[in-house]
Structure 1
Amino acid sequence: MSSSETSASAFSSSDTAALERQTETEQPVSFEQIWNENHSKTSVDWIRENSYKRVCLQFPDDYLPHSNAISVDLRKLLAPEEVKVFILADTTYGSCCVDEIAAAHVDADSVIHFGNACRSRASRLPVLYLYPELPLDLDLLLGKLQSLRPDSKERQVCVYLDIGYQHIYKEELKKQLTEALQPKDLLLELFPPIEGSSSPSKEPSSLERICIFIGSDNQRFANLSLTALAAVQWYIYDGACGALSSKNPLTAQFIRRRYFHIEKCKDAQTLGLIVATLSAEGYLDVVARLQTMAKGRGIKTQLISVGRINPAKLANFLEIDCFVLIGCPFNNMYDSKEYYKPIVSVFEAEMALNPAWHMKYPEAYVTDFKQLLPEGRSFLPFDVAGIPENDVSLVSGRLRGALNDSVETAGDPASLALATQAKMALMTTDTGLSFEDRTWQGLDPALGQTEPAPLQQGLSGIPINYTHQ
């Protein structure tokens, strides 16, 4: 491969990337598991009770082979009523989020969302969530959990049901789990929880806690284990293979990596605020809050919306030192090893920019940015006066922030540049916020200055490899 081909492949994707993209679920699902009598009855009743006429069915990638059959069946069940049914696929940000943007293109009045869901509150359209119904050998589960009985005594046990197993949720199951584990206290909850429901496991307890996740080691488990209160041990029971394993989500390596990203965020001169949701409630408030905190530290910001992110897209913003991903709870934690600049979550940016978080270790990670707003339980007010005058980067060892008048900076231009940067009186580096020096500045429409061109067949394929070239 030539050097030019290598360079091109680093900043562009192949024409088969969308087809070869790995799906977000861990095990294949059958048609009966995602569309059975319960699903169809729930959908038809919901549509008729609310008199919806234009319904979008949103599917994740691995559900698409069944999408047409589900759409046809739903139309038959709703006949003779005139209800238009549309299929949504390849969502703008992530399949867990409701794609209200795509639904608006067909003037939809409702959305039925299939599969993995973050359950972020949609701001424009009513949504019905339908989860798969995966089989579970209950006797095998109870037998495996009996091995945890010695550790469960005198402790609180929290059992979480993943989306594929929420159909087995009932009081009888809670009694059977209590008999198998014999804990001091047992909590049985759904994850993600139903909107508006309270979560007893979020409340501090005097008892030590053991947590069991009935599902697989997926993004939902990662989100849950990071945001839940501290537990003595986490366990995962994979219903597909009947295996019970222990899991430690907060490893020392993970914590060091995330705190390294927080320091890089503090060092940044320009932050890129990536809006990875346009439906989650409160995202504009979070954008305004991040801009205010960054301005207080003399850091410039750029607001970016590029859909589903990848290294090639973000490599176009060379002037940005660190990115902040404003996404749903399931879509805002990225391992940025493949990216040219670090990507932090809103919570990590909050810890970097808000002096109220200095030397304060959180009880649990915050993945839902609404919890950082004034009405959230993790809200800490931002006070620009609390920003330290003298601060040293733990990554580069360089001085950042505003210097005290008593500090001797004469004869050192570099120190002077750092001293005035935080007050935004002097900016010695080109942040790239003015684009006139760039080679390509966009298309000039030159309206009314050119003659109409004859119609001809356009290019076919993708820019990196047109089909007729």
Structure 2
Amino acid sequence: MGRAIPTDMSNLPNVTVIFVGEETSAFLPLWLMTHPNCCSVLHFSPSNNKSVFSSSSAAKSLKKRFYLVEKLKDADKVGLVVGSLGVHGYREGIDRIRRLCKQAGKRVYVFSVGKVNVPKLSNFASDIDVFILLSCPYGVLLNSKEYYRPVLSMFEAEVALNPAHPWHANQPWTSQFCDFLNAPIGERTGDEVDVSLITGRIRALKSADDLDEVGEKAVYFDQRSWTGVGRHSPKDDTLLRSDIIQGRGGTASAYTTELAMEKDP
């Protein structure tokens, strides 16, 4: 994350971090999760010249990330959200997630939505089980409880989908997907047995052969109850311009026609 650290940093126990910056800084929580052996923080704020000593909450945060890993393992339909096309290596990141999802027997759909927020992802919440956010290190959502579906980072996706990348909640975490972009991808064997830590049920291990790629996206969107503006049946081709009438105007709480009726005696 653009910082120089000692090579033996991960071997040092009970490290205390002296952080100079504002309380709203996005860097500190990412640093503490990347280095879980940093157990306490001395925080100095230059704006008010005050210092606060506190314990790190990284252990609790990492447990939440591990929960997201399990949610992805249970999912069938995955949405890969590209937060920015300016992120270095985003094309390679998309290709890697597609390979991992195909190997795991999961369907993946790619969305480019710009800045991520709750309303944008809510449009796809009924069709997607979990979202994977491809973003810069500071774009990772550390708290996605407001979203209708879990939002994972690229690291959690790598852990959930790549058998060659085991991880536990007490191990280092990273928000930089370029760190493992070229890492080897393990092969899944048919005799593997996996139990969901959320539901307690045995997961059915799917393979790429279980996915029908012929017209997959066309079938998926055809099954939706509403597929967007412009969809019509052949009989609608005879619709004349004279048949089009003006709809109601205003807001749902007060249409213009309703206001006019209230004014009439």
Deviation at residue 443 of structure 1 after TM alignment: 2.6
- Alignment correspondent of 1:312: 119
Contact 2:16 2:39 in 1 (8 A): yes
1:340-383 CA-to-partner distances (Å, cap 9, x unmatched) read 11111000111111112235567522111111212xxxxx4112
Match of 1:322 among 130, 135, 159: 130
Contact 1:271 1:321 in 2 (8 A): yes
TM-score by length of 2: 0.76
Contact 2:42 2:53 in 1 (8 A): yes
Contact 2:131 2:151 in 1 (8 A): yes
Q: Is 1:269 the counterpart of 2:76 in the alignment?
A: yes
- Alignment correspondent of 1:397: 200
SS in 1 for 2:72: helix
Contact 2:102 2:208 in 1 (8 A): no
Q: Is 1:203 the counterpart of 2:7 in the alignment?
A: yes
Measured on the aligned residues, the alpha-carbon RMSD in Å equals 3.5
Q: Is 1:435 the counterpart of 2:221 in the alignment?
A: yes
Contact 2:36 2:58 in 1 (8 A): no
Match of 2:101 among 274, 281, 294: 294
Distance 1:338 1:357, change over 3 A: same
SS in 2 for 1:273: strand
Distance 1:389 1:326, change over 3 A: same
Deviation at residue 281 of structure 1 after TM alignment: 0.9
Q: Is 1:213 the counterpart of 2:19 in the alignment?
A: yes
- Alignment correspondent of 2:230: 444
1:119-139 CA-to-partner distances (Å, cap 9, x unmatched) read xxxxxxxxxxxxxxxxxxxxx
Q: How many residues align?
A: 241
**Structure 1 segments unaligned to the other structure (5+ residues):** 1-191, 194-198, 375-379, 403-420, 454-458
Bigger relative CO (Cα 8 Å, ≥ 6 apart)? 2
1:80-114 CA-to-partner distances (Å, cap 9, x unmatched) read xxxxxxxxxxxxxxxxxxxxxxxxxxxxxxxxxxx
SS in 2 for 1:395: coil
SS in 1 for 2:43: strand
1:441-460 CA-to-partner distances (Å, cap 9, x unmatched) read 223389x998899xxxxx99
Deviation at residue 258 of structure 1 after TM alignment: 1.4
TM-score by length of 1: 0.45
**Structure 2 segments unaligned to the other structure (5+ residues):** 243-247, 258-265
SS in 2 for 1:349: helix
Match of 1:242 among 44, 49, 52: 49
* Bigger Rg over Cα: 1
Contact 1:201 1:229 in 2 (8 A): no
SS in 1 for 2:53: strand
- Alignment correspondent of 1:110: none
Letter in 2 for 1:213: F
Distance 1:436 1:359, change over 3 A: closer
Distance 1:312 1:202, change over 3 A: farther
What is the CA–CA distance in structure 1 between the aligned matches of 2:153 and 2:181, rounded to whole Å? 15
Distance 1:213 1:464, change over 3 A: farther
Match of 2:147 among 339, 348, 354: 339
Identity in percent: 28
Distance 1:202 1:307, change over 3 A: farther
